[in-house]
Structure 1
Amino acid sequence: MARTVGSRIPAPGLLAPAAALVVLAPLAVLWPLPAALGLAAVSGLAALVAHRRASGLAARCDKLSGEIDILSERLLKVEARGAAAATPEAAPPGEAGVEELSVEIGLLSGIVRDLAAVVSAQDGEIAGLKDAQARAQAEAGERAQAQAQSHAALHAAVQAELRARPAAVPPPVPAAPRAAAPPPPPSETPAPRPLPPIGRRPAPVEPAERPDARARERAIVEAFDRDGVSVYLQPIVTLPQRKVVAYEASARLRLGEAVLAPAEFLPVLERHGRSTDLDRRMLQRVAVIGRHLAGRGSEAAVSYALSPLSLFEPGFLRDLARDPADPALAGRLVLALSQACWRGLDREQAAALAALRERFGFGLDRASDLRFDAAALAARGVVQVKAPAELLVRAASGGRDLTDIAVEDLVALVARAGLRLVAEGVEREADVPDLLDLDVPFAQGPVFAEPRAVRADVLGAPPAAPEPEETGPPPPRRGFRDFLRRAG
């Protein structure tokens, strides 16, 4: 009788699925949906291979079962022959046959046990792959939903800020003399550069389709391209001493004989994709101003408010982080973002800002309410919070829709967190005693000083056209008791 010997089948290797999991799992952080689809495809392929192997093992088990049945029949026949044999000489062949069949049955039993273990391992691996696929799909869906909600919130916040920004009123343009050269044709003007499509980037509001408005926009863009931007500084003072402790830098655009404020030209630059270029130029000049103040021994910091659209510019914040650090500017430069931007930061933008904390301080301005989380802002590196003076006074007089706690408690809370609270836009002397009653430590506005242009020699640029000098004696300086008497 021929011996039937089965070979042991080793457990299938999981090298390819494991390698796929190791490669696709990190990619799920950057591209969640494609990684989830790839993981699902790998899991389906592994399940198909496992099913085919299990089917083959089941077929082998059936074949071995048939062989065991044949051996069992042979064993019964041998036992019957041994029982029928009457002489002792016939016993040895029967015993030898039984022993041989017992050995073969033992081998077959071991093979069957191995096959059962392999099938059980395959079932466990398939179940594990299905669970991993379900978890990966759920995590990818949660990440995609959270990212979409964050972009949608920031989009809505920036759109609300752009809509709330006052429309620029063009100044009256004097009639041109007859001998003046005609304006250049539209074909010679540079075409506006479109904003790069990045995610859910907020789209600036389109201007009214008027010939004069389009001509004015072209003139503003041409003046910007000719580098007609100048830097103005406005001091931030202490109360009640009125000592200068910091400066705020803002841009002005010279258009012919007129000097435009940011509210007049910044919406045009945002529509034409120039706002990030403006921020780059201003940050370079603000750094020069900071070095100049450090060389004079001044401890004053200089802040500059970034455009909300610059946060969506690819590489803008990363380029700032790659610039070589200047020890002379440590703690002197403050990047200000609006309250809407701080509330709508996504994970990537927050990480890019965190990489700048070693060389820049951060500020919050353009506040629409007084619901500040001082501890969270301080944890993100914010050192200065600016709120309109009118907003502080109105909230203190009963505007409960602007703050959750009393303004006096808010001022103390911000001070305990190590933040500098600045009341901006102080236009009347009568508001100063109210701010002192609220214990506001710093203020900024026309009452203390108007924004003044930085000299060309400070910026290291060729001297610009001289500005008209102010005529008349300077305004008299009144004492603080006179202010209190007038306020009473």
Structure 2
Amino acid sequence: MLRFLGRHAGLSAFGVVAAVVLGPLAVFWPGAGALALALLGALGALAAHARATALRVRCDVLSREIDGLSKRLLRAEALAAARPEPDQSGLTAEVSDLGVEIGLLSGIVRDLTAVVGAQDAEVARLKAVAARAAASAAPMPTPAAPPAAPRVVPAEPARPVAAPPATPPPVPAAAVRSLPPRAILPRPEPLPEAALVAAFEGEGLEVHLQPVVTLPQRKVVAYEALARLRAGTDLIVPEDFLPVLERHGRTTELDRRMLQRAATVARHLGSRGSEASVTYGLSPLSLYEPGFLRWLARLVGDESGLAGRLVLALPQASWRSLDPEQANALAALRGKVGFALDRPQDLRFDGIALARVGVGQVKVPAGLLLRPDRPDLADIAVEDLVTALARAGIRLVAQAVEAEGEVPDLIDLDVALAQGSVFAAPRPVRADVLAAPPTAEPPEPEPPQRRPFRSFLRRAS
């Protein structure tokens, strides 16, 4: 109310005065009152018209200002739309390259830790061997003869003095020292590393296949491709040449060559109408090699003949330590190749998690199944392990079955697949199978351009 009176105080005062004046005037002089009221109405109309005119002028001014503001806003929007957005593809590529380098560095640090630990163990073993050799080569100390106790000889009449003693003569100390030490058989002299590397770079790499059979029928359903290195007349197993190739950085090249040959064998089996698959145990170091998984994706491509016939086996430790980039690269290969878990450290298998990443087989040594070193190697009983994995669609394969007596025990555990020398030893692949023309591969993509980290931060900001 006060606000209303404050804004219209003049009109209110004029109305009050008009009422006070016109009231008595209308009573005593009606004509004059009517005339005064008409004049007052005319004055009010003129005032209202003037006020409306002023308001219309102000509205016109406001309309022009709003029109100007709208034009400026439209001009700003047009400029913002015409301005090109910053190219985010280069930044995304640099972030991806940086993630690859970080993963590679973490893998290198992990590998260095493993190599240093292995070297420390080897140094400790060599020191122990040297200590044992020194102890065996040292002359044995001559045992000191105990002091002779005085003998009490009863008196005998007329005993010759020169008679020989009744006790045998003591063994001289020289006879004790003449015993030769126990001979230590020397270990076979290993081939020099240069010879192993030369054989690998030449034509010394061979592919041997060992069948995987069903139990108890012993029907061959799959094969495992095993690498062998032939140097002259010697056939060298991976336990002897893999450490050398790791020190020389050749494990990824070994995996590339073995995978190419395993794919050739799988195609050959498919052309003969066989449903058998070929498994190859991949080195964990190859996962950290930039571009290896992309090369593998190009190798299998969209070739339907290899779908499910080529199986990649990774160690249990590698499946547990996959980084996001490796997991995505392996996920892109699902449906083109199969996956398996081998070289387990324990029997703690999460079947649901393994099935989620595409693992279809778990390969466990028969000794670990039948004779576990510690009871804490598994979360469940070994008898229930096959059933738990089967619920997730994973098959258990018993490896390294070396004795016929182990087969009934594996059958009692419901193990359906087995592999080992008791069924068949690894045999080399014929040369005519590997001589099949390889499929054409797309060229290697250019490696991403390396840029300093400062440039990456500058673009990110």
Structure 1 and Structure 2 fold alike (TM over 0.5): yes
Contact 2:277/2:308 (CA < 8 Å) preserved in 1? yes
Helix, strand or coil at the partner of 1:387: strand
Q: Residues 164 and 235 from structure 1, CA distance in 2 versus in 1: closer, same or farther, beyond 3 angstroms? A: farther
Q: Report the residue type matching 2:366 in the other structure.
A: A
Distance across 2 between alignment mates of 1:232 and 1:90: 118
Q: Residue 113 of structure 1: CA displacement?
A: 11
Alignment correspondent of 2:386:
411
Q: Residue 303 of structure 1: CA displacement?
A: 0.5
Alignment correspondent of 1:139:
none
Q: Residues 372 and 151 from structure 1, CA distance in 2 versus in 1: closer, same or farther, beyond 3 angstroms? A: farther
Q: Deviations over 1:29-48 (max 9, x none)?
A: xxxxxxxxxxxxxxxxxxxx
Alignment correspondent of 2:313:
336
Helix, strand or coil at the partner of 1:298: coil
Q: Residues 216 and 102 from structure 1, CA distance in 2 versus in 1: closer, same or farther, beyond 3 angstroms? A: same
Given the alignment, which residue of 354, 357, 376 partners 1:380? 357
Q: Residue 387 of structure 1: CA displacement?
A: 0.8
Distance across 1 between alignment mates of 2:114 and 2:423: 27
Alignment correspondent of 1:435:
410
Give the percent of matched residue pairs that are identical in Structure 1 and Structure 2.
Answer: 55
Distance across 2 between alignment mates of 1:224 and 1:249: 17
Matched, 1:354 2:334: no
Pairing of 1:29-428 with structure 2 (within 5 A): 94-103=47-56, 216-323=192-299, 324-395=301-372, 399-428=374-403
Distance across 2 between alignment mates of 1:76 and 1:272: 104
Helix, strand or coil at the partner of 2:216: coil
Q: Residue 454 of structure 1: CA displacement?
A: 1.8
Q: Deviations over 1:428-465 (max 9, x none)?
A: 3443333233222222223333322222232128xxxx
Alignment correspondent of 1:485:
none
Contact 1:154/1:341 (CA < 8 Å) preserved in 2? no
Q: Residues 94 and 336 from structure 1, CA distance in 2 versus in 1: closer, same or farther, beyond 3 angstroms? A: same
Q: Residues 414 and 90 from structure 1, CA distance in 2 versus in 1: closer, same or farther, beyond 3 angstroms? A: closer
Given the alignment, which residue of 424, 439, 451 partners 1:449? 424
Distance across 2 between alignment mates of 1:156 and 1:313: 13
Q: Report the residue type matching 1:411 in the other structure.
A: V
Q: Residue 161 of structure 1: CA displacement?
A: 7.0
Distance across 2 between alignment mates of 1:157 and 1:274: 17
Contact 1:154/1:344 (CA < 8 Å) preserved in 2? no
Helix, strand or coil at the partner of 2:364: strand
Q: Report the residue type matching 1:219 in the other structure.
A: A
Q: Report the residue type matching 2:210 in the other structure.
A: Q
Contact 1:236/1:245 (CA < 8 Å) preserved in 2? yes
Q: Residues 249 and 113 from structure 1, CA distance in 2 versus in 1: closer, same or farther, beyond 3 angstroms? A: same
Contact 1:150/1:344 (CA < 8 Å) preserved in 2? no
Helix, strand or coil at the partner of 1:401: helix
Distance across 2 between alignment mates of 1:252 and 1:373: 33
Q: Residues 147 and 257 from structure 1, CA distance in 2 versus in 1: closer, same or farther, beyond 3 angstroms? A: closer
Q: Residue 362 of structure 1: CA displacement?
A: 1.1
Contact 2:107/2:288 (CA < 8 Å) preserved in 1? no
Contact 1:150/1:345 (CA < 8 Å) preserved in 2? no
Contact 2:103/2:288 (CA < 8 Å) preserved in 1? no
Alignment correspondent of 1:13:
none
Contact 2:215/2:416 (CA < 8 Å) preserved in 1? yes
Helix, strand or coil at the partner of 1:342: helix
Q: Deviations over 1:287-334 (max 9, x none)?
A: 222233334443322110111122222332223323444444343221
Distance across 2 between alignment mates of 1:329 and 1:372: 27
Q: Residue 107 of structure 1: CA displacement?
A: 6.8
Q: Residue 104 of structure 1: CA displacement?
A: 5.3
**Number of aligned positions between the proteins:** 314
Alignment correspondent of 1:201:
none
Distance across 1 between alignment mates of 2:349 and 2:422: 26
**How large is the RMSD of aligned CA atoms in angstroms?**
4.7
Q: Deviations over 1:129-176 (max 9, x none)?
A: xxxxxxxxxxxxxx9xx999999997887678765799799xxxxxxx
Q: Give unpaired runs (5+ residues) of structure 2.
A: 1-5, 19-35, 68-95, 126-188, 437-461
Alignment correspondent of 1:199:
none
Q: Report the residue type matching 2:368 in the other structure.
A: L
Pairing of 1:454-465 with structure 2 (within 5 A): 454-460=429-435
Alignment correspondent of 2:134:
none
Contact 1:411/1:438 (CA < 8 Å) preserved in 2? yes
Alignment correspondent of 2:173:
none
Q: Deviations over 1:374-393 (max 9, x none)?
A: 23323333222101222112
Q: Deviations over 1:212-266 (max 9, x none)?
A: 99x9444333332224211111222233333332211111122344332222222
Distance across 2 between alignment mates of 1:349 and 1:374: 20
